[in-house]
Amino acid sequence: MKLLRIGAKGAEKPAILAEDGSIRDLTGIVDDIGGTALSDQGLAKIRATDLNSLPKLDADQRIAPCVANVGKFICIGLNYADHAAETGADIPKEPILFMKATSAIIGPNDDVIIPKNSIKPDWEVELGVIIGTEARYVEEANALDHVAGYCVVNDLSERHFQTERGGQWVKGKSADTFGPIGPWLVTRDEVADPQDLGMWLDVDGHRYQDGSTRTMVFGVAHLVSYVSQFMSLQPGDIITTGTPPGVGMGIKPNPVWLKPGNVMRLGIAGLGEQQQNVKAWSA
């Protein structure tokens, strides 16, 4: 299933993309795309619904973030061997964990705002893993049982804030609008192998990133298990799993940074596409 949320901010409705391409309203079937709706039981309830009986929603409405009320936005750093190489970093011996503020989350096609005092804003197409049932100290062999599905994430970054102003990476990752997610939550039964998904990102029509989840250092099952050793994972939590090469900071000899007027397009095979206009911050 491809689950989404549609409507203006604060007025989003839970929805599903039907096989005929129409968007059907799940209001009354689930409260929202989040929480218990992401459990196996919640997803089974949606799956058992006759979609033809549900009202259609206007496909021209805003596509909202595909998950509501995200509790934790957990990021994995340097998780692609080829991306680590382009940044000059060693391949991590264990996953690098950091957090992204949930206030960064926006819809997949909402505007991205370059924050005040930004010098080096950058892009990162990533596979997002959406937790469906609580995971605590889970084994890798069972880890994917706790996954509701997957989505596209643009893990935007301000590299000057991230690497040159001391402390942890979180302040370079958490600006408002720096976390587009969606367009859909694609349930795990539709993703045969999360370690074999092509992914790409363009800026103004130029392809900068063209990679695959095959080059992840630590795969999805390992990451879910690993994170669960340090904190419980709750329904609606998102783990964004790292990016392939081609980020702006890795371009030699002159890095490329986002600027107002740029248009980003990005996608992952089977998970849909995003497009964001880049705008300047204003008071």
The pLDDT of residue 83 is 74
Low-confidence ranges of the chain (pLDDT < 50): none
| CA nearest to 238, candidates 87, 90, 120, 130 | 130
Structural domains of the chain, with CATH: 2-57 (no CATH), 73-280 (3.90.850.10)
Q: Tell me, what's the pLDDT at 94?
A: 95
263, two tokens: 């248009």
Q: Which is nearest to 249 in space by CA: 154, 124, 153?
A: 124
Q: What pLDDT score was predicted for residue 85?
A: 75
Distances (CA, A) of 267 to 209, 233, 273: 10, 26, 4
pLDDT digits (tens, 9 = 90+) for 98-131: 999 999 999 999 999 999 999 999 999 999 999 9
